[in-house]
């Protein structure tokens, strides 16, 4: 079970890193529209989800991996339910990883 919680933590961390990636890319989208043409504007969680699906399919990742990442994204969205996807700050990500570690017993080593 300990190995499984570590794997879950790594999946959660990767899903959140995709969120950070999309947020940064969306902010620079206006500067370099051609390079980022495939990225959605993450004005809400639905467009962010669509962007994650698009990125996974572009990279030819497995369907199961896609579903796992979408699950972590959904859980993170529920955790910060009072905010839109564009209003989420770095502290929200840090708090969520802490929540996973303390409350959900996901390995803290994945937060390094």
Chain centroid offset of residue 76 CA: 8
Q: Tell me the pTM.
A: 0.57
Question: Residue 18 belongs to what domain range?
Answer: 2-32+39-111
21-76 confidence digits (pLDDT tens): 776 665 555 455 444 444 434 457 888 888 889 988 888 989 998 898 898 888 88
For residue 17, the domain's CATH number is: 1.10.150
- Residue 30: helix, strand or coil by DSSP? coil
Residue 4: pLDDT band by 50, 70, 90 thresholds? low
pLDDT of residue 36: 44
Contact 112, 10 (CB under 8 A): no
CB 75 within 8 A of CB 92: no
pLDDT band at 110 (very low <50, low <70, confident <90, very high): low
- In tens, the pLDDT along 85-105 reads 778 888 888 888 888 888 888
DSSP state of 44: S
- In this predicted structure, the answer to whether residue 6 has a pLDDT above a threshold of 50 is yes
The total domain count for the chain is 1
């Amino acid at each position: 079970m300990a190995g499984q919680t570590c794997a879950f933590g790594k999946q959660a961390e990767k899903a959140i890193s995709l969120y950070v990636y999309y947020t940064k890319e969306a902010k620079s989208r206006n500067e370099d529209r051609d390079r980022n043409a495939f990225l959605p504007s993450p004005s809400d969680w639905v467009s962010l989800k669509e962007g994650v699906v698009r990125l996974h399919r572009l990279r030819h990742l497995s369907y199961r991996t896609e579903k796992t990442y979408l699950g972590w994204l959904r859980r993170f969205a529920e955790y910060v339910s009072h905010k839109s996807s564009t209003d989420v700050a770095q502290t929200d990500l840090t708090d969520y990883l802490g929540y996973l570690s303390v409350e959900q017993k996901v390995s803290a080593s994945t937060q390094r």
